Amino acid sequence: MSLESLAESMGVPQSRYHAFGPGRGKIDPRYLPVPSVPDQPSSSRSSEPLYVLVTGMTPTPLGEGKTTTSIGLSMALNKLGVRTAVSIRQPSMGPVFGIKGGGAGGGRSTIEPSEVLNFHLTGDIHAVGVAHNLIASAIDNEIHHGNRLDIDPLSVSWPRVVDLNDRALRKVIVGLGGKGNGLPRESRFDITVSSEIMAILSLARSYGDLSERLSAVSFGLSRTGELLRASALGVEGALSAILREAFWPNLMETCEGTPAIVHGSPFANIAHGNSSVIGDWVGLNGSECVVTEAGFGADLGGEKFFDIKCRVLGRGPNVAVLVATAKSLRMHGGLAETVAGKPIPEVLDRSDPASVRKGMVNLTRQIRNVLRFGVPVVVAINAHPGDSEEEWKIIRELSREAGAHDAVVARHFRDGSDGALELAREVLSVARSRTGDFRPLYGTDLSPEEKIRKVATEMYGAGEVLFSPKARKSLDEASRFGAEAFPVCIAKTWASLSHDPSRKGSPEGYPFPVEEIRYATGARFITAIAGDIQTMPGLPSRPAFRKIRLNAEGRVEGMV
């Protein structure tokens, strides 16, 4: 089926679908009503389309297959006669060229053409980068031309961004070379998908909402202590214009012809890390079911999905699928250590029931993390050739004991939709019988400090939260930023439930250090930087870009 026909099958008017290039198009969502935002996000009602979240346990550096599972599950649901769309995040080219490789799925559960998805797609991330850097340029231009806003250069917190992993840009000095090149000051680069502009694009419900959020972006203080926003620079109109078409969700298809909405951003460890609200809204209005994914583990992308995204969308999911692998459980069970940026030890590919049983403490913790939100859980055991039936039996037994409805072996990587039919039947059964008691982890009435403490202690297992003097000072300024009611977005390592990547399994009772607080006044959340976390990743010892090439026929080869 052509993408035009696929869009039509989802109720998209012909005038609102725009072909962009081979295998991709854009949907202008303005044919739909703007999603309303209730005081409290509701549970799904029987009259509404089914909404399925795919999240996961704490992964190995290569991930446990959430995207592949999302794709395979959506195709299997379609095979069962449920009109389903999958909604995923657009890959950043940082991981594409780094260690994880592409984000188009794998095996027989992919979005095609995969090279189109992994390289540029329709340029949304580039548009975000330009919009973000326009603010940075406008700040320095204002200071250079008389500084009518009386900007305190030492208070400027707005970095520049680039969509690559480049550790050399984590700390930079801008403005060198004399008076004509600006005022020298320390700054930094972040990876583009961690930008507040990307979060705004992912959370905005309409053009009006997009513009309001962009205007509200804060970048520093005046010398008298007044909070300065993008609107004071006169840049907000240009930002909206840059993002005009980037706001439109992208439409692609899976290898079996299931509609795939691609919109939003990865990196749930340093950002909000979920597919876009407007992309899911398009899917929910044109399908009987939407399968969406959240980045990294349930403690990161899953928690941010529930506490940030669901508040904006106005509803929670019917069921959560928690992806697990025996390989990751062996790691958490102490069979071998993994280090980001280095190859995975081969021993983790071989069956070891004892380490799987020991490592189940991580999966059971993540199951209980999801259950805290009143959402039922189905565990998807993403099968690998080195797994054993004994390991799968252990996973199923202990998952049920932890409160999951079941743990189902899924072979979608090898068999496509046929390999996920059992998983789809279980998900469908749970989703349709759901009673409906979704609730965020915390209320907006709690102080920012209390919200951070609640996430750290209840989701991560921390015993106490230690705020640095710098973080404590920022928390004291919450009222000035109008941020008391904002949800929190904690940036921490993805490699552990804690802030320390070496702490595997389910650590308990440790001190959780918050080093810095950043206010995203446009995205409307508070970012807490925990431990030694970088918002600009570095490349690994064996970067994936070494394998990528363009052959004589113009096809991309070597994409992981």
**H/E stretch holding 9:** helix 3-9
Contact residues for 146 (Cβ-Cβ < 8 A; gap 6+): none
Distances, alpha carbon 293 to alpha carbons 263, 302, 335, in Å: 11, 8, 29
Q: How far apart, in whole angstroms, are the C-alpha atoms of residue 255 and residue 334?
A: 37
Task: Yes or no: say if 377 and 365 are a contact pair by the CB < 8 Å rule.
Answer: no
pLDDT grade for 98, boundaries at 50, 70 and 90: confident
Could you tell me which residues come within 8 angstroms of residue 17 by beta carbon, excluding any fewer than 6 positions away?
A: 3, 4, 7, 8, 25, 26, 27, 28, 251
517: confidence class by pLDDT, cuts 50, 70, 90 = very high
pLDDT of 249 reads 98
pLDDT tens-digit series, residues 375-406: 999 999 999 999 999 999 999 999 999 999 99
| CATH of span 3-8+25-122+246-432 | 3.40.50.300
Find the helix or strand (DSSP H, E) in which 294 lies: none
pLDDT tens digits along 261-312: 999 988 888 888 999 999 999 999 999 999 999 999 999 999 999 999 999 9
Strands (E), 492-543: 511-520, 525-530
Q: pTM for the whole thing?
A: 0.95
Residue 260 contacts residue 71 (beta carbons within 8 Å): yes
> Per residue in 541-553, pLDDT tens?
888 899 899 999 8
Is pLDDT at 218 greater than 80 in this prediction? yes
Residue 111 is given by DSSP the state E
Strands 511-520 and 525-530, sheet pairing: antiparallel
* Domains of the chain, residue spans: 3-8+25-122+246-432, 124-242, 448-530
Nearest of 500, 508, 505 to residue 532 by alpha carbon? 500
Q: Which residue has the higher pLDDT, 47 or 126?
A: 126
- CA-CA-CA-CA dihedral for 502, 507, 511, 513, to nearest 10: 50
CA dist 137 to 122, 193, 281, 445, Å? Answer: 24, 19, 34, 37
Residue identified by tokens 């349930």 is 298
The class of domain 124-242 in CATH terms is alpha beta
DSSP 164-208: S--GGGSSEEES-SSGGG---EEE-EEEGGGSHHHHHHHH--SHH
* Predicted confidence (pLDDT) at residue 520 exceeds the cutoff of 80: yes
Residues with Cβ within 8 Å of 424's Cβ and at least 6 positions away in sequence, in order, are: 73, 76, 77, 79, 80
For 38-49, what is the mean pLDDT? 70
Q: Which CATH number fits domain 448-530: 3.10.410.10, 2.40.50.140, 3.40.50.2300, 3.30.70.260?
A: 3.10.410.10
Predicted confidence at residue 446, as pLDDT, reads 96
210, 217, 255, 431, 518 from 200: Cα distances, Å: 7, 10, 30, 30, 15
Q: Is 524 left (phi over 0), alpha (psi -120 to 50) or beta?
A: left
State the DSSP string of 320-366: EEEEE-HHHHHHHTTS----TTSPPPGGGGS--HHHHHHHHHHHHHH
pLDDT above 70 coverage of the chain, percent: 98
Q: In this model, does residue 39 exceed pLDDT 80?
A: no
The amino acid that residue 433 corresponds to is: S
Report pLDDT digits (tens) over 412-469: 999 999 999 999 999 999 999 876 689 999 999 999 999 999 999 999 999 999 999 9
What span, in angstroms and rounded, lies between the C-alpha atoms of 486 and 445? 9
- C-beta separation of 172 from 152 below 8 A: no
Mean pLDDT, all residues of the chain: 94
Output 10-15 pairs: Cβ under 8 A, ≥24 positions apart. Answer: 10/85, 10/259, 10/282, 10/283, 10/285, 10/286, 10/287, 11/285, 11/286, 12/282, 12/286
- 541: how many CB neighbours lie within 10 A of its CB? 9
Model confidence pLDDT, tens digit, residues 101-154: 778 899 999 999 999 999 889 999 999 999 999 999 999 999 999 999 999 999
Structural contact between residues 308 and 31, judged by C-beta atoms closer than 8 angstroms: no
Q: Which residues contact 553 (CB under 8 A, 6 or more apart)?
A: none
pLDDT tens per residue across span 322-357: 999 999 999 999 999 988 767 889 999 999 999 999
